[in-house]
Each structure stands twice: as C-alpha cells, then as structure tokens.
Structure 1
Amino acid sequence: MKSPNREARIRERLTAEVGRLDKQAPFTVALTYPSPYGAAMSSLGYQRIYRAIMESSGLACERVVLDDEAENDLAAQEHPASLESRTPLEEFPVIAVSVAYEIEIGGLIRLLDASNIPALRDERDPERHPFLLAGGPLTFSNPLPLAPFCDAIIIGEAEEITVEVLRVLESTPRHHDRLAALAKIAHVFVPELHGAVLPTVAKVPDEMIPAWAAIRTPHAVLSDMFLIETERGCSRRCTYCVMRRSTNGGMRMASMEKILELIPSDAKRVGLVGAAVSDHPKIVSIVNTLADQGREVGLSSLRPDRLSDDFVGALARGGYRTLTTAMDGPSEKMREQLERKAKEKHLIRCAELAKKHGMDRLKLYLMIGLPNESDDDIDECVRFTTELSKICPVALGIAPFCAKRNTPMDGQGFAGISVVEKRLERLRRGLRGRADARSTSAKWAWVEYVLAQGGPEEGLAVLEAVRDGGNFAAYKKAFSRLSTRIDVAKPRRTLAIAQI
C-alpha cells in the first residue's frame, strides 16, 4: 500500500521543480539514485545523465530514489516507484544507477530488495527482471564491490557512453548477446565476461564540458541552485585524491563566456561545480559577474592558496557568510605528505580576509588518521587553530582518512577506529571554547575504507550487512566473515577486521 504522506510529498516535489524534462519514449529506463531525493537533485553527475537520456531520440527516463523516511530501515522502505509516473522499479526494462561513493552500495541493495528484484545478478532472470547498469563517481576509483549486483558498469565520464549502451540494450533482446555487445564498447565493464579486469576510464570530448543540471528545486540539499561545471578534473597532484592531474588528462576548463550564457535568467542561486573551481583563471570575474546580476553564488571547492582579497570580496558579494576551504592535514608535515599547497600563511590570510569581508566564520576541512600521523600533529592542529580563532571564529569539519584506489596512497591502512576516536577527542579537548570541531563517524569511515580497498567479496558482505539490519554491527560482522582478507604482504589487502 502506498503511503498518503509519501505520495503527497512526491506531488509537492514535482510541483516545485523548475526545468524538468517531461517526455515519453518507446524505451524508458529507471534512472536511479541510491540516496534520498535531496541528494539526487544536488548531484550534477546524476542530473547530467538525466539530461543526456531525455535529449536523445527514442529514449526517456524516470527517476527512482531511496525513500527519505526509510533511508536506514529496510523494513520501512516502501515499494520503490518512479517519481514521474509511479511505475514500480521492477517494471522498467533497465535500471541505470549512479553510485557516488561506497556506502551507497547499501542503498542500491535496499532499493532492489524492496522491489523484490534479486540483488545478485546471478540470481536474476533476464526474461523477468530489469538489466542493471551502473556508473557514477565511484567508478573512478573502485567499482569492483558493485560487480556482484550489476550486469554492466560504465567506468568514468558516462554522459556520452550511456546513450550508446541504452541503444544496445533497446535493440538487443537476448541477454547473452547484450553482454557480448557491451563488452566490446570501450570503458564498459561487464563482470560476467571481464572478471575483475577493469577497462580504462572514459573521457568525454572537451566540447561536452561544462555539464549543467536541468532541474532546480527547493527540496534539494542545494536548495533552488542551478548547478554548472566551471572545469572538470584537476591540475594538482594531491596524493589522496582520485581526481588529480593524472586522471583523464587533468583539468579541462569551460570558458567564462560559455558558463555565463548557460545560466538561466531566472536562476537566483548558482552553484559552480568542479574538483578545483578556484583554480579557474576567470573565477573571480565569473563570481563578480553573477554578483552584479544579483545572484547568490556557491563554489564546490576553494583552495586556500587561491583566496586573494579580490576573490574573497567577490564571494562576499555573492552571498558567502562562511568562508570554507581546506586545511587538509592537521600539521605542516601531514600537508606536505599529501602534496598540498596549503601553508599556514595561506590559512592565516584566509582568516584575515574572512574577517575583513564581514564573514561569520572560517570553516576548514581536514583529515585525520593519516599515515605516520601522531599526537604531535594533532597538538600542532590545536595550536594553529587556536591562533586562527583569535583572528576569526573557526569551525573544523573532520573526516577520517580512507585510502582510495587509483591514487598514490592506494593500499595505505586505516588508522583504526579507536585511534581516530582518541585523536578526535584530543583535538576537541584542546579546542574546547576556542573552535568547533565536528567529524564524520570513524566507524563508518572504516566501512568505507574496507569497500574502497575491497572487491566483489566485500560487495557480497554489504548484502549480508544490509539484510542483517544495515547498522555498523552488521557490517562489522559481515566483514569479519570474509574468506579472504586484505593481505599484510600486499599493501592493498590487510586483515579488514584488524583495522577496527
């Protein structure tokens, strides 16, 4: 039975959307996001694939997302159906899912289970069940934990290949023939045929940049914001980051003129998106132009060494009240290890500029639990953050370090949940009354780490964990049962449960 509250919420959301592409086509697929609606509509990648499908002749998609009210409760998850026509997920010929990061694999399993679709591809009947196609940011690092569930996975930048794959699926009725045809397309991973051998990462032609989002809505995490790329990739070489200069040729920029001409005249809030937005050579001019037009501006990434007086002044004119940038590591030694350009002098200047331009606070993101980190590094962070707080109020946003595949730090171990929690407490205690310090969960960071470094077997453990309640205890138990471990002799494979 459909919940009246949920149906009313969906109607309200559809009514509030600006820019939705209403279209019917002979071949309509379920464009799925394994997180709630607000996150889906704030994902530029998801929205870019939506637009690519809806603008293609003979193809259309309807959106399916995880139910907000049952995000962490499988029993409460209502039968997934599309937002547009309320068609049940299992009635679509293809489920095309965008997976942003490792924990969302659990969300995909919840959607499949709630639809009575066998989660494991080996258990699905191609005559009765949808074809499951995956893509998204996770594919740039390690899509192998997705392999037990997906018939095919597009690796890398997918907006061009997705349409090609859907046309193959539309024109090829037999499942075996579909897999064979898709396996011949560059950058498409077919687990049944390729095993664990991944293809190279796809790269779209530069003329397809920038991506921009079709839909604006007040119900997105980035409320009523028009999202558009300023660049794709990055020219820097940060050792922990998947989107570094060696990924897909580094940074590819859109021109200022192209960016501005694509922004709708009625968009009051504009989000400039990319891995290195502040490295765009025209970024100050872009922000000032948007501020002159009376628009509020948000940027997805600000590097402290790029924040000049003119830049921060432009941000203030664009509505910034908190200057947010990255400290990255807790000490100069840790930042040098990460090959970050952020120095203490840059961060001090950021605090001074935030104060000068009337901002409420300086927010700094950083990681702890880095390789070779010690309490001395945490104490240095306390000392330096205290110094910054004398200039401008400071808030720290902290994430435990998780090594990712396809980075120079691939294979580095997880510091340990207890180690991370002790360092967090040391940091909070040292900064009490001076700065706010908030962190994502060390326990869930460990789960993310195991999946980031894992393979299909770790993916199967997610299935077990989700069906066992989906809490941390369930994940810990499922990972402890793995028949293979992350091997101490090889940096990538160490005993997973020992990292707790």
Structure 2
Amino acid sequence: MSRSAMTTTIRRRLAGEIGRIDKQAPFRVALSYPSPYRAGMSSLGFLQIYKTIQAEPGMACERAFLPDDEGQGADGPPITYEGLRPISDFPVIALSVAYELELAGVVRLLELAGIPALREERSFRDPFVLAGGPLTFSNPLPLAVFADAIIMGEADTLAVEALRVLRDAPSREAALDALAALPHVFVPARHGAEMPPVAQCDNALLPAWSPIRAEETELSNMFLIEAERGCSRGCTYCVMRRSTNGGMRIVPKERLLELIPEDARRVGLVGAAVSDHPKIVEVVRTLAERGCEVGLSSLRPDRLTDEFVGALRLAGYKTLTTAMDGTSERVRETLERRARPRHLQRAAELARQHGMNRLKLYLMVGVPGETDADVDECVSFVTELSRIVPVALGIAPFCPKRNTPLHGARFAGIDVVNKRLDRLRRGLRGRADVRATSARWAWVEAVLAAGGEAEGHAVLQAVHAGGSFRDYERAFEKIKRPEPPRRQSLPLLAAG
C-alpha cells in the first residue's frame, strides 16, 4: 500500500469512527497494535489504554496498526491515524500484544518503521518500546527480546504511570532503572528472566469500555464494555482461572447500563465468564428492549436457561455459541469443566425452541490423555445433538500455557492432532460442520508459549526468512535445548 493509499484509507476510517478523543499535548505516544486496524480496533484492552492516556494531563496518544497488506507490497512505514506521522517520530511506542503469534507482527511493525526489532540493537535515538497486553498473563519472555519494558497484567493505570517515568527520565538508562523499580513492570535488561507478578487494578476503575465505535472492524460499530473481569472457575488450561488476580470481579448491572450510550445499536459484553454474571439475563433483556443487538464474549452451557436463551434471541442471536471444551466427558473432567452432556443437550433444545439456526460448540483436541475413544465419543454425542438442531464445531488444538496447571503438558503433535481432526470429520460428515485452526500454527504457538528469549530470536529469524511454517520450524530447530522442539509430541520445556 502506497503512502497516499494508506492516507486515504486512514481518513475514510476516521470518518466512520464515533467517539474519538482528539487531543493535543506536549508528550505524545504512538499507541500501536501489531495486527491490522480491523483487529486492533476490536480489542477492548487497546481501547481502554487509549482512553486512559487521552485522559492524562499533558499526554496524548496517536494510534497505529500493522498495515493491512503488510507483506504484500507495503512500501512505507506505519503511520498514525491521528497525525499521519511515522511511529519512528515518537519517543515511545506503546504496544498491546494479545497472543504468541502476534510476535511476528511486532517484528514487522518495528522494522517497517525503520526501527531495529531487537531491543539490544536500539540506541537512545530510537523510540522506547513499552509493551503490555493479554500475553503478559502467560509468558512474555519471547517478547522480551523486542520490548524495552513490559507491563505485566492489568495496565489500566500502570500504563500511564510507566509513561510518566519515560516522559520525565533524563536518559534511557535512567528510565530503565526507574521502570525496573515499579511493581509489575518487567525490564529485561535489569531483571533478566525474572518476571514480576501480574498487576491487578483497583476494582473501582472497572469496567473497561470502548470510547470509539468504528465501522471497519471485526466488531463493526459495536460498543464494547466489561460485564466482569476474571473468572470464578478453575479450568486447568485457562490463564484467567479463579487463581488469577482474585478471581471474578463483577460490574453491577446499573453501572453497566448507565455507561452504554443510548445511541449504541450494537453492544458487546466482554469478559472471561460473562454468562456467570448474576444479572446477565436482565442486562441482555434490557438492552434488547432498547433495540440493541447484543453479543457476549463467553457463554457457559451450564448457565443457559430458557429465559437466558430467550433474551439472547431477542437481542439478535441467530446462532447459540457455547463451549464443549473436551471431546469426551472424561476429558472434560481432567479440564475441571462444569459442562455436562445434559447441559449441552439442553443448549441444543433451547436453540431449536427459540428458532436459532444452529448450535456452535467450541472444543479442543489433543488434550493430555485424550485417545481415539474420546474422539469417537464426541462423534456419537454430536451426532445426537445434530438430530435436535444443526451443529457446527469450532476446534482448536490444545496449547499448554504458563500460569496454568497444565503448563508442563506436552503438545500432542501435529500429526496426532490432524489424525484426530480427520477422525472427527469422517465421523461427522453430513451431520455437523467441522472447522479447525491449523495444527501447524498451534505447534508454533505452543513452542512460544513455553519459550524464552531464544524463541523470540527464532521469531525474528523466521520472519526474515519469509514467515512460513517451515521458516519457524527451521528457526526452532537451531535452539539448543535439552530436548529441542519437535513436530511430533512436542515436550513443552521451561524457558531459560
């Protein structure tokens, strides 16, 4: 995309935004997202930090994203939406990183801007790279080779505190020292691989909500707001389980409703366990009666009732989406899931009863201990559900994450995952729609989720080689570990 074409695209998108906070201030930050605009502007965390910076006296931010056609002819540096300036012009680039595979986007964003991707290759003349985001709840060590400092966990107020340090520090070295003294800020040049604990913001600051509604996004023109933060459940694979940051923190119904603009016609209720909110049915029905289309980021099958599904249908739901998680009842027990066959069967019945087009179920394959017999149980059970209502399966390979009880488990292996997927597809052909994310890229994610700085360097090598799966495989093979990463039954090793 040429500079003029990029500018035209940016101006068109700005014209379609509602709620943008235009502000001039002496200290300006490039708030950047290592994926394109459509994804970045659908991230509530990114928008929350935008709002927080814009509220700080003497400080402002300009948004930047990975170019839409990056890698397919982009011939200029990423420029900000507010000022049409290259991000290399700013003293600080603040990055929000959601998950492991976005590390490639970090490399591309910085290098397109003419900034060395590796922190050790940057000088005082280069922008300071401050990172945060959902990845920090799990394992940001591979990110540490690119970021000068990383805010761990909830950055609602900590981001601005760190930016004040960067604004006021007399030198880069002084800034690193001052940031390293802040609780929950990880400075690799000072801390090595010793990461501080994740931060928890004051509950009085909840909920996060999006100041901008944008048209050209994954969640077009949707007002996003937290119904709750965290989770009260103990699922063994989940980073946001009840032991993380004090479990589930609920936003009162009245507070939610007063923050949602009267002119919002699409509302997204966000959280790890939205359907566990004690007033969720009332919230959804109230919004539906306002004329809103409502989306929930998580629906648990054991919470679905006739009243709840009726409210969802009134709010525009045509597909009832919930989590099956494991292929069998035995596997779900190992994951400490509350979903039982009766809950999923009831979900199918409610979807049909309320005139929904289908039931969509999310689940994982390759969970530790899973066998072909578990997959066959899934085939039989989903076949039964398909007699009630059309069923679609959204499947992801199990990927162990740090800060969960299953962080030391093995990735099942690309071939194993693909064989299980083939078994599911054959068994459910003509009975259910089966779609799965790539087993190859799940393997890459698993290596990074267990990795350290060596894996971060491998990302850089892979991106420079072209960014294909084979490029990642070659880069990982060069890492000297007691047991190097393998495509077959990968052992997830401790970093360091």
- Are 1:479 and 2:476 matched, yes or no? yes
Give the distance between the partners of 2:107 and 2:72, measured in 1 at CA.
10
Question: Which amino acid in structure 2 is aligned with residue 337 of structure 1?
Answer: T
2:3·2:75 contact (CA, 8 Å) conserved in 1? no
Give the distance between the partners of 1:92 and 1:366, measured in 2 at CA.
43
From 74, 79, 90, the counterpart of 2:88: 90
Please state how far the C-alpha of 1:77 moved relative to its aligned partner. 5.8
Structure 2: state its 5+ residue gaps: 491-496
* Superimposed CA distance per residue, residues 162-194 of structure 1 (whole angstroms, 9 cap, x where no aligned partner): 111111110112111111111110000000000
Label 1:82 to 1:136 Cα distance change in 2 as closer, same or farther (>3 A).
Answer: same
1:28·1:60 contact (CA, 8 Å) conserved in 2? yes
Matches within 5 A, 1:42-121: 42-70=42-70, 73=71, 76=74, 78-121=76-119
Give the distance between the partners of 1:197 and 1:452, measured in 2 at CA.
16
- Are 1:38 and 2:35 matched, yes or no? no
Please state how far the C-alpha of 1:496 moved relative to its aligned partner. 4.0
Structure-2-length-normalised TM-score: 0.97
1:74·1:469 contact (CA, 8 Å) conserved in 2? no
Give the distance between the partners of 1:77 and 1:110, measured in 2 at CA.
12
Structure-1-length-normalised TM-score: 0.97
Please state how far the C-alpha of 1:405 moved relative to its aligned partner. 0.1
How many percent of aligned residue pairs carry the same amino acid? 62
From 209, 212, 229, the counterpart of 2:209: 212
Give the distance between the partners of 1:395 and 1:440, measured in 2 at CA.
14
1:67·1:77 contact (CA, 8 Å) conserved in 2? no
Q: Which residue of 2 aligns with 1:190?
A: 187
Question: Which amino acid in structure 2 is aligned with residue 168 of structure 1?
Answer: V
* Superimposed CA distance per residue, residues 389-443 of structure 1 (whole angstroms, 9 cap, x where no aligned partner): 0000000000000000000001111100011011101100110000000000000
Question: Which amino acid in structure 2 is aligned with residue 11 of structure 1?
Answer: R
Label 1:187 to 1:217 Cα distance change in 2 as closer, same or farther (>3 A).
Answer: same
Give the distance between the partners of 1:423 and 1:497, measured in 2 at CA.
15
Question: Which amino acid in structure 1 is aligned with residue 89 of structure 2?
Answer: E
Q: Which residue of 1 aligns with 2:494?
A: none
**TM-align CA RMSD:** 1.1
- Are 1:257 and 2:233 matched, yes or no? no
- Are 1:269 and 2:244 matched, yes or no? no
2:2·2:75 contact (CA, 8 Å) conserved in 1? no
Please state how far the C-alpha of 1:10 moved relative to its aligned partner. 1.2
Q: Which residue of 2 aligns with 1:491?
A: none
Question: Which amino acid in structure 2 is aligned with residue 82 of structure 1?
Answer: T
- Are 1:310 and 2:279 matched, yes or no? no
Question: Which amino acid in structure 2 is aligned with residue 225 of structure 1?
Answer: M
Q: Which residue of 2 aligns with 1:369?
A: 366
Structure 1: state its 5+ residue gaps: 488-493
Matches within 5 A, 1:317-466: 317-466=314-463
1:307·1:350 contact (CA, 8 Å) conserved in 2? yes
Please state how far the C-alpha of 1:499 moved relative to its aligned partner. 4.0
Give the distance between the partners of 1:411 and 1:464, measured in 2 at CA.
26
Label 1:17 to 1:394 Cα distance change in 2 as closer, same or farther (>3 A).
Answer: same
Which segment drifts farther, 244-253 or 171-180?
171-180
1:67·1:78 contact (CA, 8 Å) conserved in 2? no
Q: Which residue of 1 aligns with 2:224?
A: 227
Which segment drifts farther, 310-319 or 169-178?
169-178
Give the distance between the partners of 1:310 and 1:112, measured in 2 at CA.
49
Give the distance between the partners of 1:115 and 1:33, measured in 2 at CA.
13
- 2:120 is paired with a residue whose SS is helix
- 2:209 is paired with a residue whose SS is coil
State the number of aligned residues.
Answer: 490
Give the distance between the partners of 2:72 and 2:118, measured in 1 at CA.
17
* Superimposed CA distance per residue, residues 445-483 of structure 1 (whole angstroms, 9 cap, x where no aligned partner): 000000001011001000000010011111011001112
Please state how far the C-alpha of 1:115 moved relative to its aligned partner. 1.1
- Are 1:8 and 2:8 matched, yes or no? yes
1:42·1:220 contact (CA, 8 Å) conserved in 2? yes
Question: Which amino acid in structure 2 is aligned with residue 170 of structure 1?
Answer: R
* Superimposed CA distance per residue, residues 97-132 of structure 1 (whole angstroms, 9 cap, x where no aligned partner): 000000001001001111111111111011x10000
Label 1:75 to 1:497 Cα distance change in 2 as closer, same or farther (>3 A).
Answer: farther
Give the distance between the partners of 1:227 and 1:385, measured in 2 at CA.
33
Please state how far the C-alpha of 1:498 moved relative to its aligned partner. 4.7
Q: Which residue of 2 aligns with 1:180?
A: 177
- 2:32 is paired with a residue whose SS is strand
Please state how far the C-alpha of 1:6 moved relative to its aligned partner. 2.5
Give the distance between the partners of 1:212 and 1:496, measured in 2 at CA.
42
From 123, 126, 130, the counterpart of 1:125: 123
Please state how far the C-alpha of 1:5 moved relative to its aligned partner. 3.0
- 2:423 is paired with a residue whose SS is helix
Give the distance between the partners of 1:77 and 1:203, measured in 2 at CA.
41
Give the distance between the partners of 2:126 and 2:461, measured in 1 at CA.
21
Q: Which residue of 2 aligns with 1:153?
A: 150
Question: Which amino acid in structure 2 is aligned with residue 360 of structure 1?
Answer: N
1:230·1:274 contact (CA, 8 Å) conserved in 2? yes
From 275, 278, 288, the counterpart of 2:275: 278
Give the distance between the partners of 2:346 and 2:75, measured in 1 at CA.
48
Give the distance between the partners of 1:136 and 1:497, measured in 2 at CA.
28
- 2:131 is paired with a residue whose SS is strand
Question: Which amino acid in structure 2 is aligned with residue 460 of structure 1?
Answer: H
1:237·1:246 contact (CA, 8 Å) conserved in 2? yes
Please state how far the C-alpha of 1:75 moved relative to its aligned partner. 5.8
2:443·2:487 contact (CA, 8 Å) conserved in 1? no
Question: Which amino acid in structure 2 is aligned with residue 315 of structure 1?
Answer: L
* Superimposed CA distance per residue, residues 300-346 of structure 1 (whole angstroms, 9 cap, x where no aligned partner): 00000000000000000000000000000010011001000000000
Question: Which amino acid in structure 1 is aligned with residue 342 of structure 2?
Answer: K
Question: Which amino acid in structure 2 is aligned with residue 130 of structure 1?
Answer: P
Q: Which residue of 1 aligns with 2:493?
A: none
